[in-house]
Structure 1
């Protein structure tokens, strides 16, 4: 295997490399639909300074971000668009590295040296006061089996000896990740998971059950089944019911908070097409792609795409080469955060 093929996918952003007036668009472009970036009063986009490095560690994503004050918002709309179900570790380091997080009806203050978990399937508003943050994003299916019971981990603050070990592990990992090989990644990610599970477990006695494990597991399985069959034109509620041996009423009840199962399938198909178009190297056959995703007519597809995203599929592809969401990765495809996060699903 060539050295390039062995290299871990990596991307770096530094605001010093971008003209001041372009920094906001460049950074927001890299975030794609995952979250939106804004600034507290008194700070303009041209004054925004940031340095961000990201690595794909197999089925985890590691990042180190050093930046001036900013606000990151993961909204209900973002969650509905990308349907990401990952956990995210926030480890704050450095002087002045404080963050105020609004998670539902709760306000959490994270001091420098503090570590908190969030769940990307739930809204999050983070007022970052500067400093450095280490983030690790982990598919939920990797962590949940290591915990003794299902719990809501959104906003859980980690304390105790194991959390100190986890913080030390993450700090060392960011300093040594550049020398890792792909063959070493399973051992590294496995150790990270075990330390995280050990840090979470002592807090479980104070956490309420998130929801019955059967319902939670079934919901994830159905969603994964839908994702795997987006290009199957025969994907219908009846097909899902037959595959999982559940009633239509049970399926409809399960997806009612997401706008219904048919609407969910349609939105996931449109999002999948959007991802294909933003990563396409050559002009795609839109009608053929739409047909593969169950849209019977070009008019139905065009209308649905514009309703969901606010612009047409042709406009998206025409703008893609100039869009700032695409940054080169060493030995990997063009980059956008949502693309990498969907790759974590495996």
Structure 2
């Protein structure tokens, strides 16, 4: 398969991880190790007979990590237990460069991903992927950088179909960025990459050329205020759609219209925010009882919490805690949660001439 290689930028940290340098019988396990901080790599249903092939080219552009990946077929899984234990909360945008169609599963829905598509992943949500041999370019964007642009949009596991509308524009922009990268200073490389993020956000703003779980989108001042308030008060059991309506002086119709870009009402959004917090607390506070976690996260009824948790995540709170404890020794919270941080830590940028 052809390999797309990004020219190295002398001003940013850069590292290549290549399985050609690994003993053939150890290659797949080494590939799993390279990915293990973020996601579980499982054998494909049909593994190649020849030695496993894979290559990662990594660029640290400020707080954003850019990777170019080529690999043989594999399966990938990011589970609830892993999410609750590790420190990765990035948004990931994958530009699929080559390969046969693959499959992404999230929220109980399967979505096909093809060459030319752009796949968005929220690392704070579970996902499974089945990938044939493929090449992809990925942007790992910190949550603090991307979330303000999304303002409530749900983009996890959504696919922008390649060659159509703004997706084609974003892909062309990314290609031009890679061509210009060797001539940019570190500051220029960072500014240029950050400039792409609003375009990606707009691409997922209800684009008719996308598929997957329905998104939200819009950059409304009122919605931003509402979401900020929920984010600051989600653990208060008295926070309800009615209290939001009173707090902001809105009619019921105005309140629900404000939340319309999120594709979920205020009650659902508040409940999901509480459930996400409880999910983390169940794993990171093993000595707290399930009742303590439930009430501490704003639920007024333990039975309501249990039902909501099972409906949202497909397992009970006690089952999640048991699963996390069973795997605790293998996946640990990271000192540096940036993608591939331990491999980029030893990489050095070369100063630009005349710098």
Same fold by TM-score greater than 0.5: yes
Partner residue of 2:245? none
Query: If each structure's helix is expressed as a fraction of its own residues, which one has the higher value?
Result: 1
Q: Which digits, 9 at most, give the CA deviation of each residue in 1:95-128, with x for residues without a partner?
A: x343211112111111111112121111111111
1:57 to 56, 61, 71: 61
Correspondence 1:10 to 2:14: yes
Unaligned residue ranges in structure 1 (runs of 5+) = 1-5, 222-243, 268-304, 314-324, 333-346
Give the one of 6, 20, 24 matched to 2:28: 24
How many angstroms apart in 2 are the aligned matches of 1:254 and 1:70?
32
Which residue is equivalent to 1:37? 41
**Alpha-carbon contact 1:33-1:78 (below 8 Å) kept:** no
Distance in 2 (alpha carbons) for counterparts of 1:176 and 1:124 = 33
CA deviations over 1:125-163 (Å, ceiling 9, x no partner): 11111121111111233233334x522111222253221
CA 312–31 in structure 1, closer or farther in 2 if over 3 Å, else same: closer
The match for 2:347 is 330
Match 2:184 to one of 169, 174, 180: 180
Instruction: State the secondary structure of the residue aligned to 1:84.
Output: coil
Q: 1:79 to 1:261 in 2, by over 3 A?
A: closer
Which of the numbers 99, 102, 124 marks the counterpart of 1:99? 102
Question: How has the CA–CA distance of structure 1 residues 204 and 78 changed in structure 2, closer, same or farther, with 3 Å as cutoff?
Answer: farther
With the length of structure 2 as denominator, give the TM-score of the two structures.
Answer: 0.60
Structure 1 residues 265 and 208: CA distance shift in structure 2, 3 A: same
Q: How many residues end up aligned between the 2 structures?
A: 254
Distance 1:220 1:83 in 2: 19
Q: For 2:53 and 2:114, locate their aligned partners in 1 and report how far apart those are by CA, in whole Å.
A: 21
CA distance in 1, matches of 2:230, 2:18: 39
Q: Secondary structure of the equivalent of 2:20? A: helix
Deviations 1:259-278 (A, max 9, x none): 477556548xxxxxxxxxxx
Sort the Cα spacing of 1:129 and 1:184 in 2 relative to 1 into closer, same or farther, 3 A.
same
**Structure 2, gaps ≥5 residues long:** 1-9, 218-222, 240-269, 287-323, 333-341, 350-355
After TM superposition, list the pairs within 5 Å mapping 1:1-346 onto structure 2. 7-43=11-47, 47-94=51-98, 96-147=99-150, 149-159=151-161, 160-203=164-207, 207=214, 209=216, 217=228, 247=236, 255-259=274-278, 263=282, 266=285, 309-310=328-329, 329-331=346-348
Q: CA deviation at 1:311?
A: 7.1
